[in-house]
């Protein structure tokens, strides 16, 4: 049976990107993104919901995001969902679901950004990031 894990999002950053490097020197950026959904209730009332998501960007794309994006920047993200588990310093098990970006396109010119960033090489599927490789 076939399966598909694909996410397409357009939204705005809620804070500047957090750019870090793994011990091996690979760039990784943590983007916090707000995506709005407008809808009308059965009674005709207009409503808006906001979904806050974490987007993880690797390699040269991560460096470009750190250089050109800022709070409020509008971006288009193409990627996949990933769930990670870890144990916190307090001993509690934690789980997070985040979007791993395959492509980030800049839709606003915050900090003099180009409108698109060349796609980086995908992160090797056969070598997923271990807990020691993720700097946050």
Cα–Cα distance measured from residue 59 to residue 119, given in angstroms and rounded to the nearest whole number: 10
Cα–Cα distance measured from residue 135 to residue 91, given in angstroms and rounded to the nearest whole number: 19
**Can you state the percent helix, strand and coil of the chain, rounding each to 5?**
10, 50, 40
Judge whether 1 and 115 are in contact, CB under 8 Å.
Answer: no
Sign of the torsion angle spanned by Cα atoms 119, 35, 56, 32: positive
55, pLDDT greater than 50? yes
DSSP string, 87-126: E-TTS-EEEEEEEEEEEEEE-S-GGG--S--PPPPPPPTT
pLDDT band, very low/low/confident/very high, at 108 (cuts 50, 70, 90): confident
Indicate the domain borders of the chain: 7-37+47-112
**CATH classification of 7-37+47-112, choosing from 2.40.50.140, 3.10.180.10, 2.130.10.10, 1.10.3720.10?**
2.40.50.140
Cα–Cα distance measured from residue 34 to residue 38, given in angstroms and rounded to the nearest whole number: 13
Query: pLDDT tens digits, residue range 123-136?
Result: 444 344 444 555 55
The residue among 80 and 117 whose pLDDT is bigger is 80
Query: pLDDT tens digits, residue range 59-95?
Result: 999 999 999 999 999 999 999 999 999 898 999 999 9
pLDDT, mean over the chain: 86
The CA-atom distances, in angstroms, between 81 and each of 48, 78, 101 are: 24, 10, 9
């Amino acid at each position: 049976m076939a399966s598909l894990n694909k996410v397409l999002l357009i939204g705005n950053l809620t804070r500047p990107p957090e750019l870090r490097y793994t011990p091996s020197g690979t760039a990784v950026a943590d983007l916090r993104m707000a995506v709005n959904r407008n809808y009308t209730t059965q009674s005709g009332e207009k409503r808006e919901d906001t979904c806050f998501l974490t987007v993880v960007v690797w390699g040269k794309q991560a460096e470009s995001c750190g250089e050109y994006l800022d709070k409020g920047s509008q971006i288009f993200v193409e990627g996949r969902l990933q769930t990670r588990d870890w144990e916190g310093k307090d001993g509690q098990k934690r789980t997070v679901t985040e979007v791993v970006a395959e492509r980030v396109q800049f839709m606003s010119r915050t900090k003099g950004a180009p409108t698109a960033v060349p796609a980086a090489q995908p992160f090797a599927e056969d070598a997923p990031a271990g807990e020691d490789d993720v700097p946050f």
